[in-house]
Amino acid sequence: MALGRGKLIGVIGDEDTCVGFLLGGIGELNKNRQPNFLVVDKSTSVSDIEDCLKNFIKRDDIDIILINQNIAEMVRHVLDAHTLPVPAILEIPSKDSPYDPNKDSILRRAKGMFSAEDLK
């Protein structure tokens, strides 16, 4: 059963991550001229990142959001509060910081499924 066609992949990352994935063909400006990407640099505040992530989550044309893991750490509370299946938020490595499975929200949630009480 098709739920949606022509949905976008959003990206919140450093310059090289955004340039790279936009080269890959995911970049778009919607009818309101809003981009589906945010380039995070030293001058970008945590509130800007938070607002952008929440905006991407609210948009109905974005089904996957890519976010560098080191940037995800800054807005971890927003990621942990997002429990809906769509959009899927993927933590991806950046040029400066490699992927750490211990920090991944999805894997931490999966690890939390095995609690002592459930195994009784």
CB nearer to another protein: pick between 27 and 59? 27
CB nearer to another protein: pick between 24 and 48? 24
CA 1 to chain centre: 25
Binds another protein by CB under 8 A, chosen from 60, 77, 114, 116? 114
Compute φ and ψ for 29, nearest 5 degrees: -110, 125
The yes or no reply on residue 78 touching another protein (CB under 8 A) is no
Least Cβ distance, residue 46 to another protein (angstroms): 20
Q: How far apart are CA 52 and CA 38, in angstroms?
A: 7
Per-residue binding string, another protein, 11-50, x by CB under 8 A, is ----xxxxxxxxxxxxxxx---xxxxx-x-----------
Q: Is 38 exposed, middle or buried (0-12, 13-18, 19+ CB in 10 A)?
A: buried
Query: 65 pairs with which residues across the strands?
Result: 10, 89
Binding to another protein, residues 84-113 (CB under 8 A): 85-86, 88, 90, 92-93, 95, 98-99, 101, 104, 106-107, 109-110, 113
Least Cβ distance, residue 34 to another protein (angstroms): 7
Instruction: Write the DSSP string, 60-108.
Output: SSEEEEEEEHHHHHHTHHHHHH--SSSSEEEEE--SSS---GGG-HHHH
User: Is-contact 81 89, C-beta < 8 A?
Assistant: no
Which residues lie near another protein (CB under 8 A)? 1-9, 15-29, 33-37, 39, 63-64, 66, 85-86, 88, 90, 92-93, 95, 98-99, 101, 104, 106-107, 109-110, 113-114, 118
